[in-house]
Structure 1
Amino acid sequence: MITSIAHATIYVLNQDEALDFYKNKLGFEVGDDLKVEGGFRWLTVYPKSNSQLQLVLAEPKEGPMFTTDSAEKIRSLIKEGAFGAGVFETENCQKTYEELVAKGVEFIQPPTQQLYGVEAMAMDNSGNWFSLVERQFNE
């Protein structure tokens, strides 16, 4: 029986640059950083408050998963901003937004009231967009 999801993948253009972004701008912790013979690197990060779901920062390269052509297509889509990295939750969207802007995170939408709470939209340094959400439900 499957009990949880342990990892989710975010494709990035450069693992070192992505690690710098997720660690130094978003404040994530490094889970694993393993380099395997042949150039493969298993690199994971997670928010300090929750290590249960780790994000794999994967650089699409020719190898067992991708042909040269498919890796380049994925890299092209990343550059176009065609991928979403998910939804990151926060207790205070406005405060977190201001902290991240001060660290140089690019936002494409400032905190805005939505039906489900306050949401801001940002991009990582590869071009993946993500939501920053403060949930607010009426009971």
Structure 2
Amino acid sequence: MPVEDTERVREAFTRLRDLFYHWNLKSKTEPGRPSRLMWESGNITGHRPYFFLQPYNEMGYLFEMTQRGWVVSRAEKIINLDRFMRQLNAWDHVVLYESPEMPQTLRVRSEHWGEDFVSLPLYEDAMVRLFRELFPVQSQAKRRIDF
């Protein structure tokens, strides 16, 4: 059964946001350099939490909390209008469920990852691994060779 408690959804979303925030901070190639991805978080229309990761000069990923999970869209930030321009179809739609076997344990159903239910920590791990593959951080030595 989908989670009905919005506060539990908010806690899970905040945990995912923090996980990506720290992952992005660790992506710096050296102290004082910017992170690999542009980062932004806040509330859309004043109440719906979001976070946004965007490689410089590429389309990014907008995570928006919903009543029972979150939606991930490919998007670009229109800075001068302070708005996001989303692609028509969502990249992923996630719904959180209570685990029938283990009370207080959240399970995830994600369109991007298939119809199976997975634990929230497994989903988080899979997402971070995917983003590492999508946006690899090259070593400084490799960059010197390439340029």
Q: Shorter chain as normaliser: what TM range?
A: 0.3 to 0.5
Q: TM-score, normalised by structure 2?
A: 0.36
| Structure with the higher fraction of residues in helix conformation | 2
